[in-house]
Structure 1
Amino acid sequence: MLSASEASIEAELKTKGLNAPRLTPQAIDETIVGEAFHVFPGTTMTVCALTLRNGFIVLGESAAASPENFDAAIGRRIARDNARNKIWALEGYLLRSKLAAGVI
């Protein structure tokens, strides 16, 4: 799911010829092998659990301040985006470790 912001950044990186090993939105998406959602009964709290290909689970959450504004589809989307954004740091650490070890 390439956002407009990610597409813009990807285009700029390509234009500037910045092609050293790096993470891409596609690489982040490829780490995700499953997803599950839960809305806590009586609340607007939505949790998304993204399962990564190595079995690790990353959580994201969302909640509407006003129950009148709660929309399940929007809550799921926000919770998933929050979980997906956490993957960048994990995969960034992994890539940096590989680069430091001379594996890449």
Structure 2
Amino acid sequence: MNGRDGGVPADESAVEQQIQAQGLAAPRLTPADIDGAIVAEDYHVFPGTTLTVCCLHLRNGFTVTGESASASPQNFDAAIGRQIARRNARDKIWSLEGYLLRERPFWAD
């Protein structure tokens, strides 16, 4: 499964619109940058559990994982588990890409 079908959470889109509306133009990350870093994704549900793990593969070969688990097995839904696990993995990419952005030469000014 490719990482393009997860979509951008509405709150990220709203923040992006606010940044653009204010004309803030300093170097920054966008939701599209985060999605662009993802080249593939894998999921695993551990047998006999509701634990779902998402592994996002990034363009540089690094991987990031996210997890989800239903408190009640009766409420477990595999699609919802994948969605939450993917969101949790994707959230970790912001910090990694933010670090890389700060390493770029334009921050020396």
State TM-score, norm by structure 1: 0.94
Give the 4+ runs in structure 1 shifted more than 3 A.
Answer: 99-102
Of 24, 39, 45, the match for 1:39? 45
SS state of the match for residue 24, structure 2? coil
Deviation at 1:101, TM superposition (A): 5.1
**Structure 2 residue 40 is the aligned partner of structure 1 residue 54:** no
Query: How high is the sequence identity, in percent, across the aligned residues?
Result: 64
SS state of the match for residue 33, structure 1? strand
State TM-score, norm by structure 2: 0.90
Of 3, 8, 13, the match for 1:7? 13
In structure 2, list runs of 5 or more residues that go unmatched.
1-6
The residue number in structure 2 matching 1:100 is 107
**Structure 2 residue 86 is the aligned partner of structure 1 residue 75:** no
Quote the Cα distance in structure 1 between the aligned partners of 2:85 and 2:108.
34
The residue number in structure 2 matching 1:28 is 34
Of 82, 85, 94, the match for 1:88? 94
In structure 1, list runs of 5 or more residues that go unmatched.
none
Letter in 1 for 2:107: A
